[in-house]
Chain A
Amino acid sequence: MNAKANKNQSSCIEPSYYQAVTQAIRTQAVQVLKDGTVAGVVGYLPGRRKGTARPALITTPEEAEKLIFSPACVNNLSVYLTKSKKGVLKQGRIGIVAKGCDMRALAGLMGESQIKREDLFIIAVDCAGVYGSRAERSESVTEANIARKCHECTVHHPEGADFVAGAATELSGLTPLEAEEMARIEALPQAERWAFWKEHFSRCIRCMACRQVCPFCYCEQCLCDKNRPQAVENSPRPAGNTAWHIVRAMHLAGRCGGCAECERVCPMDIPLNLLNRRMAKELKELYDYEAGLAPAEKGPLNQYKEDDDQSFIK
């Protein structure tokens, strides 16, 4: 194992832990495929390059023997169950490998009537963190290469799954990077906040990867693709970009479970999860709501109380 990585770790998870989880997932997936509980399992297969993984839909026990779980299993697979990725669920009950943060997306999708609990067999992973983008892929996850979102994860011991693979130790002693960054931006003078986001939004190339990867952006037609009338300019220019990012954050407010997939896939390194987290914080403060902890029929922005705060309204 890499000695340098060993030095700055606070909660290093040994590779053997991932092997144990991999084994548990395989055994469970083979079993549910053999006894016909599920028609398929959405999980991870090894990627072509060393130290990578790729999402896959497995339909035979033989293939299930190849499933893995490693720190490279970054994807939130719940997106494959939504109607924007048509077809997967048409085949009957389906198994899915899910980390804690992915389970929040599953709960959210259940709340929004996009999937039914009885159609799923959730193989949850007691997660010990995954690689961040640009992380050096040493064999184990360390503070230096763990994803930013994992620093503040509160759901890595998943609840309400059909099967849980592994039993990870606590992730402790990690600096809450995102909370610190959010506090830093909030403390900036207003003009500097604008300058900060302007610089980021101006770089956006409108590839829409952030939308395609988000489990909650399953709209048949995105508001931002509409052109009669056009709501948001859709060429990659700073004006339209700014509107797109504000609209996206607004549409995900109260729904986003913080899987940070949008930020991971962004080729321009725009800190999208800061916006998501800012909205989540606001809704927690205002309406005491946290998305994705359990399926909820109504999110914070489609319900109301008669005595909601209206101090900002004249």
Chain B
Amino acid sequence: MHAEAKQHDFEPKIVAFVCTWCTYAGADLAGTSRMQYPANVRVLKFPCTGRIDPVFILRAFQKGADGVLVSGCHPGDCHYMAGNFHARRRFAAFRALLDFVGVDLHRLQFSWVSAAEGGKWVEVVTELTERVRAMGPMLEFKSLEHEEQWSAFQAMADVPGVVNTPELKEAYDKI
């Protein structure tokens, strides 16, 4: 039976980067076992967590994701022996960098979900979705997409030495 559908004010977009051998199979298991989990998640399949470049995560945020999940095989279970070990270090560093730059790490979740853990997949996805829903839309990266170089100059209109004449502003607004 389907649970009763709830209406929410905000449906977050969650992008999940998963490895094909464990988490994708785990998510598949959740599906074939008819477990319910939020439809907010868009799953992208990769050969291995080691193939998931941090730039993919940036791009997901830029293109409108409110939360990102990266998930793969448990340590020791990697199909390619060590891909997830390398990914673990890379993402530890990447998290520190994002934090330093001022990104809220609550929007970025890492997890190990094996092919047998359909239940854990549901749990991880539900938890992330609800957390991001409570946080509201991720605006930082998205708003950058609509900004131009000159918007920074406009904000500095009163700073001495910054050329910001009405003519320039008019020309800018016409672009």
Contacts and interface: CB of A to CB of B under 8 A. Distances in A.
A287 B89 CA distance: 9
Nearest to A287: B89
B55 A243 contact: yes
Interface string A167-206: 0000000000000000001100011111111110011010
B135 to A, nearest CB: 12
B162 to A, nearest CB: 11
A206 to B, nearest CB: 10
Given A238-B149, A242-B141, A314-B124, A186 B90 contact: no
B110 interface: yes
B112 A313 contact: yes
Contact of A190 (B85, B89, B94, B104): B104
Interface in A257-314: 275, 278-279, 282-283, 286-287, 300-306, 308-310, 312-314
B111 interface: yes
A186 B100 CA distance: 6
A223 interface: yes
Contacts of A135: none
A253 interface: yes
Interface string B65-109: 000000000011000001001101111111111111111100001
Contacts of B164: none
**Chain A at the B interface: SS class:** helix
**Chain B at the A interface: SS class:** helix
A246 interface: yes
B85 to A, nearest CB: 4
B36 interface: no
Nearest to A300: B89
Which of A223, A237, A254 has the largest number of chain B CB atoms within 10 A? A237
Contact of B111 (A196, A239, A313): A313
Contacts of B103: 190, 194
24 contacts: A186-B100, A193-B102, A197-B102, A203-B149, A238-B148, A238-B152, A239-B145, A245-B101, A247-B54, A250-B54, A250-B94, A278-B97, A279-B97, A282-B92, A282-B96, A286-B93, A301-B93, A304-B88, A306-B75, A308-B85, A310-B88, A312-B91, A312-B92, A313-B112
Considering the complex of A and B, which 4 residue pairs feature the smallest CB-CB distances, nearest first?
A194-B102, A193-B102, A304-B85, A314-B111
Interface of A: 185-186, 190-199, 202-203, 205, 223, 231-232, 236-239, 242-243, 245-247, 249-250, 253-254, 275, 278-279, 282-283, 286-287, 300-306, 308-310, 312-314
